[in-house]
């Protein structure tokens, strides 16, 4: 992975040197991410998510360089994220792309994998658009998945198990 640090006004589209690095990365089957450390430093100083999003919008960006770097790293390492959501906390978990439901449950606790029964699953977009688990359930978007289910990036999951 190549990471190019550029001036603030070049963060969106890069510059002539980043184009050369991007071409080299493409030839090597590598990834190139363009960021501005100055912008990242300024974003880190901001308080709320709203302030960060407004700042990004003002400079013509939709996400931080750090986010692009993380996504590129996940893609390069063939990783995905699934979520567990409860009344007290929401948590992200990382598994290899292609992981089945029991293996993913095992990331949380080995007993979850050993005693796996099923996974109650909601796609991330359904979860967010329908305002959570109850909205997704009411819309028929909650699925019961078995041992052969391949977890998808962004799935919101509740594992049923018996040990």
> Which residues are registered as beta bridge partners of 120?
144, 158
Distance between CA atoms of residues 10 and 82, nearest Å:
33
Q: What is the spatial distance between Cα 5 and Cα 8, in angstroms, rounded to a whole number?
A: 9
Q: What is the pTM of this model?
A: 0.81
Average pLDDT estimate for 125-145: 96
Residue from 37, 35, 32 nearest 1 by CA: 32
Q: Which of 35-39, 77-81, 85-89, 127-131 has the least mean pLDDT?
A: 85-89
Q: Which of 52, 34, 35 is nearest to 43 (CA)?
A: 52
CA distances from 143 to 35, 116, 127, 133 (A): 39, 16, 12, 11
Q: What is the pLDDT of residues 62-108, one digit of tens each?
A: 999 999 999 999 999 999 999 999 888 999 999 999 999 999 999 99
β-pairing, 2-5 vs 32-35, is parallel
Residue 161's SS3 state is strand
Rounded distance between C-alpha atoms, residue 16 and residue 101, angstroms = 45
């Amino acid at each position: 992975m190549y990471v190019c640090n550029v001036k603030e006004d070049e963060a969106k589209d890069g510059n002539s040197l980043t184009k050369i690095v991007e071409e080299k990365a493409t030839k090597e089957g590598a990834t190139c991410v363009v960021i501005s450390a100055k912008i990242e430093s300024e974003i880190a100083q901001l308080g709320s998510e709203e302030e960060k999003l407004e700042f990004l919008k003002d400079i013509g960006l939709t996400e931080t360089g750090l986010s692009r770097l993380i996504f590129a790293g996940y893609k390069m390492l063939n990783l995905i994220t699934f979520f567990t959501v409860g009344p007290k906390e929401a948590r992200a978990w990382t598994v290899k792309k292609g992981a089945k439901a029991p293996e993913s449950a095992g990331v949380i606790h080995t007993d979850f994998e050993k005693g796996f029964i099923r996974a109650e699953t909601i796609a991330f977009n359904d979860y967010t658009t329908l305002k959570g688990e109850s909205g997704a359930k009411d819309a028929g978007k909650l699925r019961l998945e078995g041992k052969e289910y391949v977890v998808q990036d962004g799935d919101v999951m509740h594992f049923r198990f018996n040990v």
